[in-house]
Amino acid sequence: MAPRRARSIGTKTTQTNRVATPASPAGQAPTQPTGHHAAIAVRHCSFGYRDDPPRPALADVSFEVAPGELVAVIGANGTGKSTLLKLIAGLLAPDHGEVTVGGREVRGPDLGVGFVFQEPRLLPWRSALENVAFPLELAGWSRGAREARARDLLRLVGAPDVERLRPHQLSGGMRQRTAIARALALEPAVLLLDEPFSALDALTRERFNVALQSIWRTTGTTILLVTHSISEAIFLADRVVVLAGRPGRIVAQVPIRLGRPRSLVDLDASIVSDVSAAIRAALEREELA
């Protein structure tokens, strides 16, 4: 697959950032300047689950993600991170506000948006190859074409040898790689990742972060990644959006001015601890408030 990514890598190498950008007092975070259209734009979105009692999940959330950007969303449990991704994916509709992807308002699931769930959610009766080919099958691709594409994708995510295996025969890591390959099948402009590596051990997780960075650089897909891990967010993202409170709102957006491509040793740089401290400070400020 030809790389679609046009942006230069490593342009931010010499830049440093030691200060978090706090949200406005009203909880509305400043948005990044964008070109013609933001890849993702969330404007004044609120959402609550209509349970008994009702559970407000997000309150007046606004931010944008530029095309090709990799943004991490970080926050404690219950701050609406997964809900935010489902709003962007069109799996939920906001109670107030608007979500656009590529300039178009989200009114339901869109094939231009790939979603990797927290659990791999592979179909247990299908092989890894058939799972990756699943969205292509739904889209009406011929058997030969979808199998060829699925093979390419399994190779891209570093799982070329598992195509005949069923999910229960795969390791947790391979299952998640397969799920990422499936999400990339229709070449989405936007990829949403909901804590995709949370079930993996620390070492495997680091390896996967390197792999994800490589996939992002190869495909040029805009990525919005939900994670609990500050170091993972710093390693992968151009910017970290910090969600806090119940219902969740954005309390800070922290740019990560580390060069690309990043390696795991970059996590030892002093900027990382500074950014990490800024994110923690934003979370603690909210807790104290």
Partner 1 sequence: MTRHVLRDFLPVVAVATGFVIAWKLLVVIGGYPIFILPPPEVVAARLVAAWRDGTIEPHVVTTLSEILLGFLIGSGLALVTGYALARSRLAERLLSPYLVAAQATPILALAPLIALWFGTGLASKVIICSLIVFFPITVATMVGVGSVDRQLLEVGRAFRATPLQVLTRLEIPGALPAIFGGIRVGATLAVIGAIIGEWAGGESGLGVLINLARGSLFDTPLLFATLVTIAALGVALYWLILVVERRLVGERG
Catalog residues that contact partner 1 under the rule CB under 8 A: 89, 91, 108-111, 113, 115, 117, 119, 121, 123-125, 134-135, 137-139, 166-169, 186
Residue 126 CB, nearest distance to partner 1 (Å)? 8
Contact (CB, 8 A) for 56 and 229? no
Q: Which is nearer to partner 1, 82 or 213 (CB)?
A: 82
Q: From CA 11, how far away is CA 93, in angstroms rounded?
A: 37
What number of other Cβ atoms are within 10 A of residue 82's Cβ?
20
- C-beta of 197 vs 235, nearer to partner 1: 197
Q: Contacts from 140-147 at CB under 8 Å and sequence distance 24+?
A: none
C-alpha 226/C-alpha 247 separation (Å) is: 17
| In the complex, minimum distance from the CB of residue 115 to partner 1, in angstroms, rounded to a whole number | 5
Complex with partner 1: residue 183 or 252, whichever CB lies closer: 183
CB of 150 to partner 1, least distance (A): 14
Could you give phi then psi for residue 62, rounded to 5 degrees?
Answer: -135, 130
Whole-number Å distance between alpha carbons of 86 and 108: 10
Q: Which is nearer to partner 1, 185 or 233 (CB)?
A: 185
Nearest-angstrom CA–CA distance, 133 and 110? 17
SS3 label, residue 116: strand
Least distance (Å) between residue 178 CB and partner 1: 12
CB of 4 to partner 1, least distance (A): 21
Residue 52 CA to residue 231 CA, distance in Å, equals 37
CB of 44 to partner 1, least distance (A): 24
Residue (18 or 164) nearer to partner 1, CB: 164
Nearer to partner 1, 37 or 166 (CB): 166
CA dihedral 196, 198, 202, 205 (to 10 degrees): 0
Residue appearing with tokens 């292509």: 136
State the Cα–Cα distance between residues 132 and 115, nearest whole angstrom.
13
In angstroms, give the least distance from the CB of 136 to partner 1.
Answer: 9
Q: Is 234 exposed, middle or buried (0-12, 13-18, 19+ CB in 10 A)?
A: buried
